[in-house]
Amino acid sequence: MEHVGAIAELATRCLRLNGKRRPSMKEVSTELEGLRNTQRCLEKFQEPQSFKDETTFMHSTSETMKDHKEESIL
């Protein structure tokens, strides 16, 4: 979410009326690339929510089947 703020701030700098105070396209590109790389690093180290949900579902299904087998034996 902090990336949104950084991008908004960059966009604001790009809209400055005084061209000398605006960032160059190279500066904009470099800053956006840095934000993209940061996002990729964060995604690598965060487990996707769908994977967490699948793991929880598989565990609960396994437990339910185990309980059902135990009841069938009795």
Task: Per residue of the chain (74 residues), give pLDDT as tens.
Answer: 688 999 999 999 999 999 999 999 999 999 999 999 988 888 887 766 655 555 555 556 556 555 555 555 55
pLDDT of residue 19: 96
Sign of the CA dihedral running 27, 29, 32, 33: negative
pTM above threshold 0.85:
no
What is the rounded distance in angstroms from the CA atom of residue 22 to the CA atom of residue 28?
A: 10
Please name which of 6, 4, 3, 25 lies closest in space to residue 14, comparing C-alpha atoms: 25
Using left for φ > 0, alpha for ψ between -120 and 50, and beta otherwise, residue 55 falls in alpha
How many Cβ atoms are within 10 Å of 27's Cβ, its own excluded?
13
